[in-house]
Amino acid sequence: IEPVGSPLMATQTHPRSTPTKFLPAISTMASSYKNCFPYYPLPQSSSLPWMPSTYSKTAAINPALALFSKTSQGMTTSSKKLPCISNRKTLVTRYTPDDWNRSNLTNYKDSEMSWHNAQALRVDTSWMIDDKYQQTKKTQVKSTKNLGGRVNDIEFWKAELCRELDEMTGETNALTDMKKRLERALAETEASLQVAQECLIQREKRMGIDLVHDNMEKQLFTEVECGRSHSTRTSPPMAVVCMLKLQHSGPARAGEGPGNKQVAHRIDNKCHHLRNTSHSISYCQGVEWVDAMVSEPESWAKVTDNNILHSQREQVASTKLCENIENLLVVTAYEMWHQFHRVNVAFTNRITKTADAKSKIQTQVAK
């Protein structure tokens, strides 16, 4: 786009006619000079700035000049020519230097205020980030300390439960062995009782005056009564059966504790060793509001302590029962052995007397 006031080129106004000669005629050149618009350079003012303070806006206007055609060569046109800027009586309204200075000062103050606000926001943001970092670090240190204490508590109670479980298992094995000894003693007592009863039955086959209620018969009756009494006492009492049931349920309760403690120890120990750079860490929104706990540290420790106390009471009762059974076996064995000895002595004396009487009778018969 050419500036206003510049001469129009011939190629822009009408199509070039095909000359018959290489050079046009002088008359034709002269007429072309007359029909051309004069050249008016744009005025330059030293008082105006080289660049306006505000951007101009392009307006859609209708052109005031008609197209230069063949009919316009005679300069017969009804349109008005646009006067040059130097010929205008009034200039375009512009701002004064004071307005320009005030505008720059206002922009400067606004920019400075924005800069101060941005700096204050940056300082506040930096302080908030540092404060949150310190709070997070303090919370992490506290959580790590709490997890460490929790892991130590779990290890302690786990060790206590494992120790009680081992002791309870030992007591259960001892009580089971004692029950087997009672069963074996009962079988031996039954065999001795059958022998004594068989002796009484055989002695009933005596005839005549030999059916005497002598010391031998009394000792056999005593042995039978002693055997029946010992069979009743040495049979596995209900206390042993109940104690075994309790001890079998005791390890189950105590065994559940170490298993749970093992799971809790593995979880808390893993959490205790987590760091900000650990792998497979993701933020779960709302996890701090989840409360799936069924106990508190005090109640949790109390439950474990109650299990240990229950196990210790069962161990004391089992130990006392084993001691009573041991004493019963010793007393029963002593009494049965002593009665067996007296029966044997009575048998020997009776056999001696019977043999002596038989010898005397045979001697008298031989005379």
CA distance 18 to 22: 10
Burial of 362 per CB tally in 10 Å (0-12, 13-18, 19+): exposed
61 phi, psi to nearest 5 deg: -125, 155
Buried b (16+ CB within 10 A) or exposed e, 259-287: eebeebbeebeeebeeeeeeeeeeeeeee
Task: Compute how many other C-beta atoms are within 10 angstroms of the C-beta atom of residue 234.
Answer: 24
Task: Compute how many other C-beta atoms are within 10 angstroms of the C-beta atom of residue 307.
Answer: 20
Alpha helices in the chain, H assignment, sequence order: 10-13, 26-35, 97-203, 215-234, 238-272, 297-366
Contacts of 54 (CB under 8 A, 6+ apart): 95
CA distance 50 to 100: 14
CA distance 242 to 321: 11
CB 221 within 8 A of CB 200: yes
pTM greater than 0.85 (yes/no): no
Question: How many residues in total does the chain contain?
Answer: 367
Contacts of 29 (CB under 8 A, 6+ apart): none
Residue 339 token pair: 């009665």
CA distance 299 to 63: 97
CA distance 10 to 73: 12
CA distance 134 to 122: 18
CB 310 within 8 A of CB 164: no
CA distance 56 to 62: 18
CB 223 within 8 A of CB 192: yes
**Residue 174 identity (one-letter amino acid):** A
CB 36 within 8 A of CB 2: no
Measured CA to CA in angstroms, residue 366 lies from 275, 354, 355, 360, 363 at distances of: 116, 18, 16, 10, 5
Domain boundaries, the chain: 148-274+296-358
H-helix or E-strand spanning residue 45: none
Task: Compute how many other C-beta atoms are within 10 angstroms of the C-beta atom of residue 290.
Answer: 8
**Residue 98 identity (one-letter amino acid):** D
Angle of the 297-366 helix axis to the 97-203 helix axis, nearest 10: 10
CB 347 within 8 A of CB 216: yes
What is the chain's alpha carbon radius of gyration, rounded to the nearest angstrom?
A: 64
Tens-level pLDDT at each residue, the chain (367 residues): 444 444 444 444 444 444 444 445 545 544 544 554 454 444 444 444 545 554 444 444 455 444 444 444 444 444 555 555 555 555 556 788 899 999 999 999 999 999 999 999 999 999 999 999 999 999 989 988 988 888 888 888 888 888 888 888 888 888 888 888 888 888 888 888 888 888 888 888 888 887 888 888 888 888 888 888 877 776 666 566 666 666 656 545 554 556 677 777 788 788 877 777 777 777 777 767 766 666 677 777 888 888 888 888 888 888 888 888 888 888 888 888 888 888 889 888 888 988 888 888 888 888 7
CA distance 311 to 242: 15
